[in-house]
Amino acid sequence: MKELIGREITYTAPEALGRAAIRYFALALGDDNPLYTDPEYAGAHGYRDVIAPPTLICETNQYANLPRDEDGYAGHSWNIGVPGARLVRGGNDYTFHQPVHPDDVITAMWRIQDVTEKAGKVFVLSRATYTNQHGELLAVNDETLIYVRPT
């Protein structure tokens, strides 16, 4: 498993994020913050346009154009096979550097940072770095995946 360290994969959206994606994501979250839907309100608060709810860009199924897996998920996955184990998401640590706007074209670059085994579990630590079409850093997502074998 240590040979996975350093593995990278990059996804670049085929188009700008768009107002509809921002509006639908906010709706799905139940978040009626006008920064996400009202350009005048966003402008009055110092933004050049509406902004996206922060975690929208961390959902690569929004823009990565990936096929659905056997569970119907169309976002980033490492597809690591750990015999006899099931995948448990161990958590995410997000750092947001600047707001995302409708005209941003997002690139997500994922990298496996570390793989360790402890108490019969395999821990995969990866980092996603999100940038826009200008190469500006938008966010970083440190994710922990845990592969658990039945006892």
Distances (CA, A) of 120 to 70, 86, 114, 147, 149: 26, 12, 16, 9, 7
Instruction: Report CA torsion sign: 21, 23, 27, 30.
Output: positive
Q: How many CA atoms lie within 13 A of 114 on its CB side?
A: 8
**Helix (H), strand (E) at residue 131:** strand 121-131
**pLDDT tens per residue, the chain (151 residues)?**
789 999 999 999 999 999 999 999 999 999 999 999 999 999 999 999 999 999 999 987 777 778 888 888 888 888 888 888 898 989 999 999 999 999 999 999 999 999 999 988 999 999 999 999 999 999 999 999 999 988 7
One-letter amino acid of 84:
G
pTM above 0.75, yes or no: yes
